[in-house]
């Protein structure tokens, strides 16, 4: 008795029986669905979530959604660009969900990094640009050491 060879419609190495996205190539680590890396960035910055090299062509019908007031787009290269809101707080997380119709392909996260090196409650960026700097025109915190001189 011969057993038929397993079918892998999208040739991603994940047999269709176990592939949650049998018509779109993706890594086995994401059950055969396309996947993107996580990322980090400062408030107001664009963060690119690079696609997994095992991803196939992302359908034109694919969309992305982001939490926390962030926005996202899927580029023609298949990477996802997330715009971190200017008011995002340090260490907050933005969840990015990539879908094709109602089907979730992957969920990634962006961690906001806006350090407060000297621990005085003002982020290093605010100390440097002076928008929340209580030291007026002196861009350095006399108690701090992030090098804001």
pLDDT at 135: 62
* Domains, the chain: 37-114+122-129 (2.60.40)
Q: Taking all residues of the chain, what is their mean pLDDT, rounded to a whole number?
A: 87
Give this prediction's pTM: 0.78
**Of 16-20, 79-83, 114-118, 129-133, which gets the smallest average pLDDT?**
129-133
124 pLDDT band, cuts 50/70/90, is: confident
* Residue 73, CB-side half-sphere exposure with 13 Å CA sphere: 5
Q: C-alpha angle 139/142/88, rounded to 5°?
A: 55
How far does CA 46 lie from the centroid of its chain? 10
Q: Average pLDDT, stretch 77-101?
A: 96
Comparing 78 with 1, which gets the higher pLDDT?
78
Q: Average pLDDT, stretch 21-30?
A: 95
The H-or-E segment that residue 64 falls in is: strand 62-66
Name the nearest CA neighbour of 25 among 4, 56, 2: 56
Q: Average pLDDT, stretch 40-58?
A: 95
pLDDT more than 90, % of the chain: 70
Residues 51-65 pLDDT 10s: 999 999 999 999 999
Res 149 pLDDT > 50: no
Decide if 83 contacts 46 (C-beta within 8 A): yes
142 pLDDT band, cuts 50/70/90, is: low
Name the nearest CA neighbour of 65 among 16, 33, 107: 107
Q: Average pLDDT, stretch 97-103?
A: 96
């Amino acid at each position: 008795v011969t057993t038929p060879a397993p079918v892998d419609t999208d040739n991603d190495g994940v047999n269709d029986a176990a592939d949650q996205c049998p018509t779109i190539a993706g890594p086995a680590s994401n059950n055969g669905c396309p996947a993107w890396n996580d990322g980090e960035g400062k408030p107001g910055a664009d963060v690119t979530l690079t696609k997994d090299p095992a991803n196939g062509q992302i359908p034109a019908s694919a969309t992305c959604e982001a939490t926390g007031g962030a926005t996202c787009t899927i580029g023609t290269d298949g990477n996802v660009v997330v715009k971190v809101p200017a008011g995002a707080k340090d260490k907050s997380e933005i969840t990015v969900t990539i879908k094709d119709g109602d089907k979730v392909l992957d969920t990634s996260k962006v961690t906001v990094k806006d350090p407060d090196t000297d621990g005085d409650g003002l982020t290093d960026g605010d100390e440097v640009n002076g928008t929340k700097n209580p030291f007026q025109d002196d861009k350095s915190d006399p108690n701090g050491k992030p090098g804001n001189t």
